[in-house]
């Protein structure tokens, strides 16, 4: 889950998963999500967030459930299997 921080830490439990800084891959994913939302809703908030994309690494973090991704140079799509 992506979190736009604004005093976010004061609202979470001490036993909650750690949050981490977003990576370049997270930023790409987040950009697609926000652009899609903006295209479908014409949201003023989404528009404002898209305008400050250069600051996203400072204002967003990832909270729980997402791990870091390490690229594997010889990874083939036919070898990827679903986790469920």
Q: What does the pLDDT average to over 51-63?
A: 85
Whether residue 29 contacts residue 74, with contact meaning beta carbons closer than 8 Å, is answered with: no
Residues 20-46 have a mean pLDDT of 91
Segments making up each domain of the chain, as ranges: 2-79
pLDDT digits (tens, 9 = 90+) for 18-30: 777 888 888 999 9
The better pLDDT of the pair 54, 84 is held by: 54
How far is it, in rounded angstroms, from Cα 23 to Cα 53?
A: 13
Q: Provide the sign of the torsion angle of the four alpha carbons 23, 79, 32, 9, taken in this order.
A: negative
Q: How far apart are CA 2 and CA 46, in angstroms?
A: 14
At 52, list the tokens. Answer: 């400050």
Whether the CB-CB separation of 23 and 81 falls below 8 Å is answered with: no
């Amino acid at each position: 889950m992506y979190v736009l921080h604004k005093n976010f830490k004061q609202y979470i439990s001490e036993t909650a998963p750690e949050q981490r800084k977003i990576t370049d891959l997270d930023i790409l994913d987040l950009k697609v999500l926000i652009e899609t939302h903006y295209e479908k809703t014409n949201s003023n908030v989404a528009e404002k967030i898209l305008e400050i994309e250069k600051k996203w690494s400072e204002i967003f973090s990832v909270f729980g459930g997402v791990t870091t991704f390490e690229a594997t140079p010889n990874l083939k799509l036919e070898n990827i299997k679903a986790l469920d």
